[in-house]
């Protein structure tokens, strides 16, 4: 049947917190940073494809309202249950679910969107 597109669904969302050294020390107004803590997001789809995204904030909660630990908690607790079963190949649709159900959490949403787009690529 021509024109039918196989439905590819999100099967899992995994988050990992990594601490990575920076190339050089970054001096901020209240501290100096020689390492960066990032939240890596892996979105897996029913066709076996994996997409990777990253949620990173500088300075933790001193500079914004999200932290790597908070990003991981939000994705694991709230985002993943909403996304499992959603179409992995329809990024806009998956992101619309998150926008409708979750307020704020920009860095966490960005990490998910990046992982979905990476999977499409």
Burial 78-115 (b: 16+ CB within 10 A, else e): ebbebbeebbbbbbeebbeebeeeeeebebbbbbbbbb
**One-character DSSP codes across 44-57:** EETTS-EEEEEEE-
For residue 31, what pLDDT is reported?
A: 78
Instruction: Give the CA dihedral 109, 112, 114, 115, nearest 10 degrees.
Output: 180
79-101 confidence digits (pLDDT tens):
999 999 999 999 999 999 999 99
- The two three-digit tokens of residue 65, written as one number: 């309202």
Residue appearing with tokens 């909403």? 82
For residue 64, what pLDDT is reported?
A: 76
- Percent of the chain surpassing pLDDT 90: 73
Mean pLDDT, residues 40-44 taken together: 98
């Amino acid at each position: 049947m021509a024109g039918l597109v196989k439905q590819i669904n999100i099967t899992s969302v995994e988050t990992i917190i990594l601490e990575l050294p920076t190339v050089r020390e970054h001096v901020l107004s209240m501290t100096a940073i020689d390492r960066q803590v990032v939240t890596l997001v892996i979105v897996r789809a029913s066709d076996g494809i994996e997409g990777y995204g990253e949620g990173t904030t500088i300075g933790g909660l001193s500079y914004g309202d999200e932290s790597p630990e908070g990003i991981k908690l939000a994705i694991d607790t709230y985002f993943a249950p909403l996304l499992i079963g959603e179409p992995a190949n329809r990024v806009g649709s998956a992101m619309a679910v998150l926008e409708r159900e979750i307020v704020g959490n920009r860095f966490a949403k960005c990490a998910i969107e990046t992982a979905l787009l990476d999977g499409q690529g």
